[in-house]
Amino acid sequence: MIQQLQPATWMQEALFVDLLLAFAAALGVLLCLRALYVLGRQDRGRKAEGRERRAESGEQNVSAFRLPPSALRSRSNQGMATIEFALVMPVVLFLMLVLIQTMLLMAGQLFVHYAAYAATRAAIVQIPLDLSQRGEPINVISIGSSSGKFGAIERAAVLAVMPVCGRDDASGGSQVDGEEFASALRQHYEMLGETTPRWVDTLAAERYCYAAEHTRIDLIELITDADGSSVQMRTLTGGTHSFGMKDPVAVRVEHRFNLSVPYVRAIFADAKMPTKHGETAYTNITALQMLTLEGVDPAMPMEPTLPRRDQRIR
């Protein structure tokens, strides 16, 4: 598949979404204030009409049962405060949840772009390795689960995106063994002589499984036209592919970002999916990074034909 190379625009899109949400929040507050002003004016108008009717009918109140003006004002203010709270609180709570989910989504954008960089960095280091015993010589890579080089690229992306992942089944139902990953972390801290953090036992396995199951990488070859006017991307599919020395290599990472904030997740969701902890919503985040291959020319220079002279000082 060949696509036209486009510059990354996620930052512009994120800033546009933030400005849109800020405008929506300001508009919501203005509407609430306008509603409160209209309600207050209508309440004052009804009170004025009541006083006028009582004055016209000559209604006389018995002073013994009349409440003092301060008590009437206090009761009226309490009622207005209750109405204001009932009107404004749901709107403020909704806007707070939207802003929290937006903040988490921005963090997800950053981590997915870092995962794309980590995967691309792994690609330019792994592809030049000589794994001829596995069918992957220098500057050659096989696309698939059996490839050692491609597996290392996938693991780099999975580990980079783990901090913002959701939680998935780590008890063996997944194709990825999360408990094995958590056990390796425990051994790492034991070798350092440090106490194993609590998150290793409670979160590491499930988050690793989620990241591995919901993160996809594509290795991309960049093709330049003869005149160098444009660059196109070709996604590498199954089989063996070779690269030249210092060729550009790009990796695209697509991650299903878990939307964890209730009530507002439907605004950002692309679809829903089942997990160990119930059905959850997600949105797709895609990032692309490109680096230059660190390959070397395996061919050695020709042996010189001129005889060497011993120029050591005797």
Low-confidence ranges of the chain (pLDDT < 50): 1-8, 10, 61-65, 72, 172-174
Show the domain range for 28. Answer: 1-46+77-116+214-296
pLDDT at 135: 82
Q: How many domains does the chain have?
A: 1
Quick check: is 39 in a domain?
yes
Quick check: is 199 in a domain?
no
Report pLDDT digits (tens) over 122-141.
999 888 888 888 888 888 88
Quick check: is 30 in a domain?
yes
- Cα–Cα nearest to 214, from 285, 150, 263: 285
pTM of the full structure: 0.70
pLDDT at 54: 66
What is the bridge-based pairing of β-strands 271-275 and 248-259? unpaired
Using only the alpha carbons of the chain, give its radius of gyration.
Answer: 33
Quick check: is 175 in a domain?
no
Measured CA angle at 304 (ends 300, 305), to 5 deg:
140
pLDDT at 254: 93
278 Ramachandran zone, left/alpha/beta (phi>0; psi -120 to 50): left
Quick check: is 156 in a domain?
no
Quick check: is 239 in a domain?
yes
Two tokens, residue 37: 């002003």
Measured CA angle at 236 (ends 177, 223), to 5 deg:
145
d(CA 51, CA 109): 61
Two tokens, residue 150: 């491609």
pLDDT at 203: 84
Report pLDDT digits (tens) over 87-132.
778 888 888 888 888 888 888 999 999 999 999 999 998 888 888 8
Quick check: is 179 in a domain?
no
Quick check: is 311 in a domain?
no
